Structure 1
């Protein structure tokens, strides 16, 4: 059966960030993920993980200047020095927190930008990251983001990220299959899960089109969870959704799966 990780950047937002670890554990989660750890020393986050016997399974490299519309800098030509500092900083946290994988954020493209120049920059920076992370046995992930949620991101389709992984051509680089984004752009989720098993090393979920709990909307998640089992997916399923109300009130879907353990 799937293993679920609470996303502490989108769930339990009724609480300050460091208190969300306690809440996730109390709700029955054994793992967590979040967007960024960098506002807190690694030892502070490590203490919260250890206190609650939680595994950290994913976080991102730094996003750049979000107020200026950035969402990652690793693909921006001329920003290679900053991108590699961010990669090295993420590696320090991943090692300290025993996190098995990190999502490297690419970039949004300004209007009229040369997409291929951004791709080439990203490939070079990802190869640098792959070399830095490989001795620590930590995987690197890239993720497609739908254009409604994140306009002008370097890639919107799962097929673009699959092609990008081929171009990067490093053994520790994989895709991150967010089924919410994939449904809004590509559809045919069962094909993606079956055909590309082994290419993705992390799965994330949310309802579509509203990005709430996975018990509403147009995606039949119980069926997809069974399919993930059938194809032999053994990684974590990150719950990157925005609760309709109080987080705990919307965890009825999770109680059904937790009771099967």
Structure 2
């Protein structure tokens, strides 16, 4: 059965961030991921992780002015120095938290700049970042994101992500395949899993129901089939639960919505 990691930026919103680690552990998660840890000292996060016996499996490198709408720097001409500073900060956090990989967001494509120019900057930045990550014994990912949730994002399609990884040519750079984004942009998710998982380039999966981005127990995707397929394809990585509980931030809202996981684990409803 796949290994599931709770995304603490989406789940357990009724708790303060540092209290979400304990909530995830109580529900049986052994892995966690999140968007950004940088508002908290590494020691504070590490204490929560270690006290609950959890593994941090993924988080994002700094993405510029997130509150102001920026969604990454990797493809942006003229922002290379800021990008490198952010990668160094992310690698320091990943080392402290013993997190094996960091997601590097591409950014929103600037108006009036040719895609070829953005691609060249993107590849060059990723080559530098992958070399720095390799020196630290860490890996990186890139993720196609659907343009409905993130209009203007540079990377939207699975084949484009795999092309970028091939162009960068670094063994520690992989694709983060979010089945929610994949279904919205391309569909045919089973075929895409069968195409891409055997390559070994997909190093992290994420899930959510489509179209509302709630629990993976309703909507267009039949996740029990997809989980069986992932197992048959011998995927050994984590699956991040990056969805918004339909009950919202009410007490125990996330826990009440985990029936899909309990059923998968043979624990009933």
CA distance in 2, matches of 1:258, 1:31: 16
Distance apart, 1:212 and its partner CA: 0.3
Q: Which residue of 2 aligns with 1:248?
A: 255
CA distance in 2, matches of 1:33, 1:23: 13
Q: Which moved more, 1:146-155 or 1:110-119?
A: 110-119
CA distance in 1, matches of 2:3, 2:144: 22
Q: Which residue of 2 aligns with 1:237?
A: 239
- Residue 247 of structure 1 aligns to a residue whose secondary structure is helix
Q: Which residue of 1 aligns with 2:37?
A: 37
Q: Which residue of 2 aligns with 1:222?
A: 224
- Residue 196 of structure 1 aligns to a residue whose secondary structure is helix
CA distance in 2, matches of 1:91, 1:254: 32
Distance apart, 1:120 and its partner CA: 1.1
Q: Which residue of 1 aligns with 2:7?
A: 7
CA deviation map 1:87-133 (0-9, x unaligned)? 01000011111101110011101222222211111111111111111
Q: How many residues align?
A: 260
CA distance in 2, matches of 1:158, 1:57: 21
Structure 2 regions of 5+ residues with no counterpart? 248-252
Structure 1 regions of 5+ residues with no counterpart? none
CA distance in 1, matches of 2:121, 2:69: 19
CA deviation map 1:170-200 (0-9, x unaligned)? 1111100100000001111111111111120
TM score, norm. by length of structure 2: 0.94
Q: Which residue of 2 aligns with 1:207?
A: 209
1:36-75 pair list within 5 angstroms: 36-75=36-75
Q: Contact conserved, 1:144 with 1:158, CA < 8 A, in 2?
A: yes
CA distance in 2, matches of 1:117, 1:68: 24
CA distance in 2, matches of 1:111, 1:120: 16
Distance apart, 1:156 and its partner CA: 0.8
Q: Contact conserved, 1:28 with 1:258, CA < 8 A, in 2?
A: no
Distance apart, 1:137 and its partner CA: 2.7
Q: Which residue of 2 aligns with 1:145?
A: 145
Runs of 4+ aligned structure 1 residues displaced above 6 Å come to none
Q: Which residue of 2 aligns with 1:100?
A: 100
- Residue 133 of structure 1 aligns to a residue whose secondary structure is helix
CA distance in 2, matches of 1:247, 1:41: 26
Q: Contact conserved, 2:76 with 2:110, CA < 8 A, in 1?
A: no
Q: Which residue of 2 aligns with 1:168?
A: 168
CA distance in 1, matches of 2:44, 2:115: 39
Superposed CA RMSD in Å reads 1.1
- Residue 59 of structure 2 aligns to a residue whose secondary structure is strand
Q: Which residue of 1 aligns with 2:195?
A: 195
